[in-house]
Chain A
Amino acid sequence: MAEIRVEHLRKAFGDFIAVQDSNFVVGDGEFFVMLGPSGCGKTTTLRMIAGLELPTGGKILLGGEDVTMRRARERDIAFVFQLFALYPHMNVRKNIGFPLLAQGMPGIEIRRRVEETAKLLRIDHLLNKSVSGLAGGDRQRVALGRAIVRRPKCFLMDEPLGTLDTEFRDLMIHELRELHNRIHATTVYVTHDQMEAMSMADKIAVMNHGVIEQFGTPREIYDRPATMFVADFIGSPPMNFLGFGGGLSKGASEIVVQGAKVAVPEVREDIAPADMALGIRPEHIRFDDGSKLRGAIYGTEYLGTTQIVAVETSGGIIKARVPAEIRLNPGDQVGLALSSTRLSLFEKGSGRAVRTAIHDTVIHHGASQGRAHRG
């Protein structure tokens, strides 16, 4: 297993820039997820790490070795494709053994390794079956088997659960993470599904328009989004934004939104007057009739243990996650109380988060902080 280091990686297809100036480090044995909407450059980045696509600029290091321009077969990595790419003309055993055959390993050894891998994935009873008759989850396991049988330096997975139905997907998320805990393989996993990313990743990179907007642990990305895009992309429902104007000065801990004073985490930098946004997670809103920030109930979504309540304020619709027991009727006037320590502040123009007290405990991610900002 090895560390993956990506430095100033860039890829252009003609005039279209798929990836620009990507920097990140995936530690040895880490489960790293690249998350973003389709077309954001995450798959292109993955294919460059695999050697299926050559970068326009930048460097890729695998275990300290520069492999930027090496052929795919010289990189000692394994790749799991979205459509699994199981060879239809071979049975399960041959599919799993195919990478070993390339190394010229003797037949007996291949047989032993294939059976060992199949046992690990609990597909040893399927070894002599044709791959075309397999169920989605089993196909996925065969594809994983083909990846791990060779014991490569790292695994790359391109939306491997994308084609599975929900039931299988939840099962496979669990299995993938369990497998990772057992073999500790450095893994780069690409997905557009935040649930997959949050539940499996050690580290997440959120990408948009070819740029890594934020790199961090699932908790950091959720609790202190670096940009408005990340705040909006992660969370269901996403973070609410309330606009406000004026600058901020170091040490400020109160802002005025829609005529109401709102306590916020202490600001750590000076910001010149500009359009700003206050970011509030739905679960950080309580109903409190004493609050000056007011709105009218617009609608509710009942979810069992909680409910999502849409409140129409003068600054737009705000969604709050509140206990399911509260009885609410459309049109009711409510006051909104916000958890002052959990709020985020953004500059609307750049989308960048303002440094506040929530950023005080910095968690280091090795050499590269990788917190790229758009601009």
Chain B
Amino acid sequence: MSLTSAHSVVAPSAVSKRVAGTIIVLYALISIVPLLWIFATSFKTPPDSIAYPPKILFQPSLEGYCNLFSTRTRQTPEYINALGPATGVCDETVRKRNMVIAGPSNFMPRFVNSLIIAFGSTFCAVFLGTLSAYGFSRFKVPLADDLLFFILSTRMMPPIAVAIPIYLMYRELGLSDTALGMILLYTAVNVSLAVWLLKGFIDEIPREYEEAAMIDGYTRLQAFWRTVLPQATTGIAATAIFCLIFAWNEYAFAALLTSGTAQTAPPFIPTIIGEGGQDWPAVAAGTTIFLVPILVFTILLRKQLLRGITFGAVRK
């Protein structure tokens, strides 16, 4: 696959390359500032975080992370002095604010919920999407075009329009505030995207590969597993990232349908603000940690993602 030859007839000049490069760097800088600000805030103390003018240089502190992972109770200085020596960095940090650690916060369980629900629904959406895309791509499905349009149409209505019916249905079915309910919901939303994206990828894989495998003694499922799937990895990776990003970031339904055991991180993070003043460093710490999985996943799959995004545009 040659990227350069397919892109343009005329090779870009040094000047246009430099202009394009400058624009890209500028845009990247503008985009990254809020992220850097959140990252910096997560290492500030609460007074530093609301200081005016804002502090660019500051003494880094783990207070935000300590507050994120713990619940604390206020005590009298006498009580704190009577305690033994501090058991760790966090213990020491909170004692300076006349508080003691009472126990772990809900952040970890919420974060784990997010992981289970996002990865679970991504897996389901990609699994179902791959199989249906293969079906649409290879078999004469009656009314295939109408079915594909129907699948796409499930994304057309704004989610908020169906929020109340879903809320009522979930309450009746006992799916409110359950990980299963959230996985089903996100799978349903993502599967349409997965079918459409993957059908494009699978259409591009010549059917001769499976036919060759089937003649060579494999069943269709074996042929699919051994010849189609390995060649569709690019598309599957790209689709998985899109699905994961949606499920990971989804806020509205999570806020509506989860409140306790199955609550995900997005609706949980804003609740930190309320606990004992506006604790911006803790919120920033939560946000920073929340960004990590997507970052790691994207970095791991960046090759496939890049190839996946340019797939239709560049012919082999």
Contact = CB atoms under 8 A, between A and B. Distances in A.
A181 to B, nearest CB: 24
A102 interface: yes
Given A81-B208, A83-B208, A89 B230 contact: yes
Interface in B198-220: 206, 208-209, 211-219
Contact of B215 (A52, A83, A88, A103): A52
B224 to A, nearest CB: 13
A146 B216 contact: yes
Contacts of B215: 50-52, 72-73, 75, 77-79
A273 B217 CA distance: 57
A85 B209 CA distance: 5
Majority SS at the chain B contact face:
helix
Interface in B90-107: none
A81 B212 contact: yes
Contacts of A79: 211-212, 215
A87 interface: yes
Given A87-B227, A88-B231, A89-B230, A150 B216 contact: yes
A73 B231 contact: no
B216 A81 contact: no
Give chain B's interface residue range (CB within 8 Å of chain A).
10 to 19
B206 A83 contact: yes
Nearest to A80: B212
B213 A71 contact: no
A89 B231 contact: yes
Nearest to A47: B211
Contacts of B208: 81, 83, 85
A76 to B, nearest CB: 8
Given A87-B227, A89-B231, A103 B217 contact: yes
Contacts, number: 53
Contacts of B212: 79, 81, 85, 146
Give chain A's interface residue range (CB within 8 Å of chain B).
20 to 34
B204 to A, nearest CB: 12
Interface in B224-240: 227, 230-231
Interface in B217-274: 217-219, 222, 227, 230-231
A168 interface: no
A99 interface: yes
Contacts of A89: 230-231
A98 interface: yes
Contacts of B213: 98, 102
B117 to A, nearest CB: 32
Nearest to A103: B217
18 contacts: A51-B215, A52-B215, A73-B214, A73-B216, A73-B217, A77-B215, A85-B212, A87-B227, A88-B231, A89-B230, A89-B231, A98-B213, A99-B216, A102-B213, A102-B216, A103-B217, A146-B212, A146-B216
